[in-house]
Amino acid sequence: MESFDINSLLNSVFDSQPSADIKALFERKLEQYGITKTKALKLLNIDKDVFDEVIAGTAKQPNLIHVVKLAEFLEIDINSFIKVVLNNQSTDNIASIDSARKATFLLKNFDVKTLTKLGFFHSNDDVDALVEKVLTFFGFSSIQEFEDQLEEPLYSRTKRNFSDKMKDFWIKSAYQTFKVINNPNDYDRNRLKDLIVKIKPYSQDVDNGLFIVCKALYNVGVTVIFQDYLSTTQVRGGTFIVNGKPCIVLTDFNKKYPTIWFTLLHELHHVLFDFEFIETTRFHLTGDDDLFLIEEKANAFPRDLFLSVDKFHYIKKYIHNPYLVSKFARENEIHESIVYSFFTWYQDELYGKKYHAAFKEFYPDYKEALKKLNPISWNDTSIKETSERIKEILEIK
């Protein structure tokens, strides 16, 4: 017996191809073998009423053994015959199959409970409403289109882990956003290198600095977006290669302004030095275990740019003098919160001293830096609408 693909069989229920007439095929076989219907069914050990229900499509749960027997009798391969049986089902049965198919799609791909808590789903939504929300958000008209457009392109070169559905949701949201934005600028690595050395002063401008830098990056072929951090995923940021161009996702991990700049430079290091590897795997997630990328080098990149260890040793003597810290920050063309943030990290890394709850009054509201980037929210109606707004604001007029 030939193997068969369940998804393909279920998809066949909803196509417009005419199905074979099982009754006519059966009658031709009776004529060919010169036997009566009663005799044939007795030999097949199939009850007449059961046979009639299968033929009419009214059997709510057609017995697989009977289906196999009939396929053998009619000399039709099992794939083709099951498709015929499915296509002959009544409207109620097809609706039941469709509902089960949608439920399987949801359970396989989404953490419905967590997404409901985040406001992506509504608690009173039925299966149809949940599927419609997903398809609308990602911009697809059917489950089949969703699977074709997001599953195969995104995971054809890397292993998908179904155990972390929220991480998978986060990845798909970012990937689809980058696909819709489709940055028209060619990626220019040399121009990116020239741009990176000019980034630091923009950290001083909380309201506009990050926005200006992201527009400049877009112009050299690097697309930067912001997505909410999902606490269940541990993903702090990510670098994707979409249509041959680097794309970066920032998050509000730990809700601090300096961390956003740190993450941006961390991901830019991956763009500069790990492009070829990421291109083979489609994406790299910062905060996710990855044995192939050396994260320490990517972490050292923003530290060396913003506050090297030598500068830390200088400023640590004056860290409790706000005036001197502010002066030091201006001289180094960085926001003062970055001084405090990197001081905290160095103290922990070098001496095991914890300062994480200190200096909070010197950290600006990180949301002010992000609002012009049109952050992607799980409450958004569709990625397409959000992506088009992002594309519009990033393009230099």
Residue 289: predicted pLDDT:
58
Backbone angles phi and psi of 226, in degrees to 5: -125, 130
Residue 3: predicted pLDDT:
47
Taking CA 120 as the corner, what is the angle to CA 101 and CA 241, rounded to the nearest 5 degrees?
85
- State whether the Cα torsion 87-88-89-91 is positive or negative: positive
Options 1.10.3720, 1.10.260, 3.30.450, 1.10.287; CATH of 6-89: 1.10.260
- State whether the Cα torsion 263-269-272-275 is positive or negative: negative
What does the chain come to in residues? 397
Residue 329: predicted pLDDT:
97
Q: Could you tell me which of 287, 285, 286, 229 has the C-alpha nearest to residue 253?
A: 229
DSSP secondary structure letter of residue 20: P
Residue 381: predicted pLDDT:
83
Residue 2: predicted pLDDT:
45
The domain spans of the chain are: 6-89, 95-156, 168-301+366-394, 307-364
- State whether the Cα torsion 170-172-176-178 is positive or negative: positive
pLDDT tens by residue, the chain, 397 residues:
444 455 565 565 555 454 567 788 888 989 998 999 999 899 989 898 888 887 776 776 778 888 888 889 888 888 777 777 777 676 777 777 788 889 999 998 999 999 999 899 999 999 999 999 999 999 999 998 998 888 777 877 677 766 689 999 999 999 999 999 999 999 999 999 999 999 999 999 999 999 999 999 999 999 999 998 887 778 889 999 999 999 999 998 889 999 999 999 999 999 999 999 999 989 999 876 555 567 889 999 999 999 999 999 999 999 999 999 999 999 999 999 999 999 999 999 999 999 888 899 999 999 999 988 888 877 778 999 999 999 999 987 6
Sequence-distant contacts of 271-278: CB under 8 A, at least 24 apart: 271/192, 271/222, 271/239, 271/246, 272/189, 272/192, 272/193, 272/196, 273/297, 274/239, 274/298, 275/189, 275/241, 275/246, 278/239, 278/240, 278/241, 278/246
Distance between CA atoms of residues 262 and 146, nearest Å: 34
Residue 10: predicted pLDDT:
58
Distance between CA atoms of residues 374 and 393, nearest Å: 8
Residue 111: predicted pLDDT:
93
Residue 4: predicted pLDDT:
47
